Structure formats: C-alpha cells, structure tokens
C-alpha cells in the first residue's frame, strides 16, 4: 500500500495502544536500508515506521553536500515511490532533532509538506520528532506547542521527548548529569500544554533509563514501571482519553520482558537503529573476508567482478537486515497485525 495517510496513521497508533502491541521504527540512511525495512515488514505482515535522523539525512545527501533535509527528502521520495509494491502500511518519520537544528531539518521538511499539500500531493512525512529534552521543560514545551500547532494544520503528528535518553546517537551525547527518568509531574505538564492544541496528535518519548548505543542484555537498567506511574497520573488528572501513546528510545540491550512490559504500559513505537546497523554490516564483513582475493586486485591481479560488485554484498545485507526487522516485529507483538487486510482499506 502507499505510505499511510494521516487517518491511517492515527488508526495504526490507536490500534496498537488498544491492542497492546507496538510498531518498530527503523532508522534508514539509503535506498538499500529502506528496502530492507519494507521487506521485513511485508514478510511479517506488520505495518511499521521508517525514520530518518539528522545524521542519516546528511549521509543520504552525499558526503560533499551533507544537506540533512535534502537527504531526508530523497529517502522519503523513494519510499513513496516503492511502498505500494508491499502489502503493508508504512509511515515516514524523522528522528531526534534538537532545537538548534530545527531550522535546518524539521522546518524545511514541514515546508515541503505544505507545498505538496497546496498542490494536492500527500504529505512527505507523517510525523516529526522535536527533541527538546536538553532544555528546561518549560522551554521544551514552549517550542513544542508552536510546532504542534503548525504540524496539526498539515495533518502531521509530532513526537516530543521529556527526560533524556542516555548514551550517544549521531554525535549527540547525553551529559552525565542528564535526567534519565521522566516523572509524573513532567507528563502532567506535557498533557496540560499539548492537549490545549485541540485535535492535534502527538507521541511522547518518556524516558525510563533508556540508553542509546550497544549493550549486552542486562547492562542497561530500565524501569518500565515509570511509564505506568506517568500514565496513571495523567489519566487520573485528565481522564482516559489523555492516555499517552508512548515511544521507546534506546532499546538496544533491552530484554524481551522489559520490552513487553513497556508495551503493556502504552508504548506504541520503539526506535531501532544500532541492531539493524549491525545486521546490515555483518554479511558485508563476511563477504569481504571470504572473498578477499576477489574484492581486491592483489599483486596486480584483476580480482573478481562478481565479488566486488556492490550489488552482491548489498543484497545480502538487505536480506539480513530484513530478518532483524522481522525479529523486532515479533518482539513487539506485531506479527500479522497489518491494517492492510480485507475490510481494512
């Protein structure tokens, strides 16, 4: 099916929240990695989310240009063109964008969607993330409210973060003193400020010890019960309709039990990047080691074109990453949950 429209994306989120499953959201940097996600989702019969970070967008634009918005547009255009060849819905999202990069990344992408809508074309991206977690909460929400108002006018969902995800991603590193746990008081203020934008939809990345990066299971100390405390506080204050659709960042090294518990407390989207990076790279390394004489012109020899043709090892990488996508879908209870079924156009 084509990239999900606003109505379909909202249905996806609501269905995940009520059905206690979540959508994996995969960071991509190229056509090959985007294709791997689409393949894995289709083989799992699961809808999902493809997302681009500031660094991923800069990479996709090429090392000479490094235009993060341009690269994100190029990836989104590709997904729009090929998504209808896969029997699932996919949403397009942008990952962590801090306040100092909004004018270089999220704002140009919103402007592109506004131009597209004026011409009768679908939105370029379905949702964007503003990461104001490094700011005081008031400043974070002051920016978020204005962004949400603008996004709502173009049927774009906004994701925000309260609390800080530890570790490092795309060169952005959390400070040692960062607040790694969102409090009920934080989420009450989020609900008060953002729910004032009537009819707007947003996602909340609440933090419960999450850390970006590579970790063995058990090394990251998560406290999913924090999510329950936050949800309970908001529902008590504002009613069941105020329950958050939550996002789980920094999931590498999380145990299946921790992931399952987070989903039970309202996580509908889990970001995945580190694990799929490795899944994509592993078969490339394997190919190079097994075909060393073929990929290099050793001692004046010509090598083997079949060995050094990028299509050979990138096809293997795409397949391996698709398998990791399928594992993520399974971990999040999403197998066979696609809206693309009889009676669900």
Which of 92, 105, 95 shows the shortest CA–CA distance to 165?
95
Contact 78, 60 (CB under 8 A): no
- The pairing of strands 127-130 and 90-94 is parallel
Distance separating alpha carbons of residues 67 and 59, to the nearest angstrom: 8
Strands 168-169 and 172-173: antiparallel
Q: Clarify whether 47 is annotated catalytic.
A: no
> With left for phi above 0 and alpha for psi between -120 and 50, is residue 333 left, alpha or beta?
left
Neighbour-count burial for 138-174, b at 16+ CB within 10 Å, e otherwise: eebbeebbebbebbbebbbbbbbbbbbbbbebbebeb
| Marked catalytic residue, from 14, 77, 84, 95 | 95
Neighbours of 270 (CB within 10 A): 25
DSSP per-residue codes, 40-95:
HHHHHT--EEEEE-HHHHHHHT-TTT--HHHHHHHHHHHHHHHGGGSSS-EEEEE-
Pair 172, 96: CB distance under 8 Å: yes
CA dist., res. 4 & res. 10, Å (int)? 9
Packing angle between helix 31-44 and helix 310-331, nearest 10 degrees?
40
How far apart CA 271 and CA 183 sit, in angstroms, is 21
Residues with catalytic roles = 95
């Amino acid at each position: 099916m084509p990239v999900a429209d606003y109505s379909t994306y909202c249905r996806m989120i609501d269905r995940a929240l009520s059905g206690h499953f979540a959508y994996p959201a995969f960071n991509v940097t190229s056509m090959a990695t985007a294709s791997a996600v689409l393949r894995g989702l289709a083989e799992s019969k699961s809808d999902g989310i493809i997302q681009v970070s500031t660094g991923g967008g800069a990479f996709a634009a090429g090392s000479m240009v490094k235009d993060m918005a341009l690269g994100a547009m190029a990836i989104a255009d590709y997904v729009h063109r090929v998504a209808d060849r896969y029997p699932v819905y996919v949403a397009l999202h942008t990952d962590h964008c801090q306040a100092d990069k909004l004018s270089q990344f999220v704002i140009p992408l919103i402007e592109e969607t506004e131009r597209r809508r004026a011409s009768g074309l679908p939105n370029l991206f379905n949702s964007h993330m503003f990461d104001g977690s490094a700011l005081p909460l008031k400043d974070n929400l002051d920016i978020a409210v204005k962004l949400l108002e603008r996004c709502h006018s173009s049927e774009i969902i906004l994701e925000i973060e309260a609390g800080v995800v530890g570790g490092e991603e795309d060169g952005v590193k959390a400070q040692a003193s960062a607040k790694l746990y969102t409090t009920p008081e934080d989420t009450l203020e989020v609900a008060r400020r953002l729910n004032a934008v009537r009819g707007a939809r947003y996602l909340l990345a609440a933090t419960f010890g999450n850390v970006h990066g590579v970790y063995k299971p058990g090394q990251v100390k998560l406290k999913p019960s924090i999510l329950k405390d936050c949800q309970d506080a908001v529902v008590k204050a504002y009613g069941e309709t105020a329950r958050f659709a939550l996002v789980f960042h920094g999931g590498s090294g999380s145990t299946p039990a921790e992931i399952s518990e987070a989903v039970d407390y309202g996580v509908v989207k889990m970001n995945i990047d580190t694990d799929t990076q490795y899944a994509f790279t592993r078969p490339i390394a394997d190919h190079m080691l097994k075909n060393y004489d073929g990929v290099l012109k050793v001692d004046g020899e010509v090598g083997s074109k079949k060995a050094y043709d990028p299509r050979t090892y990138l096809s293997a990488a795409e397949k391996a990453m698709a398998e990791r996508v399928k594992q993520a879908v399974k971990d999040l209870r999403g197998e066979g949950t696609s809206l693309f079924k009889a009676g669900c156009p």
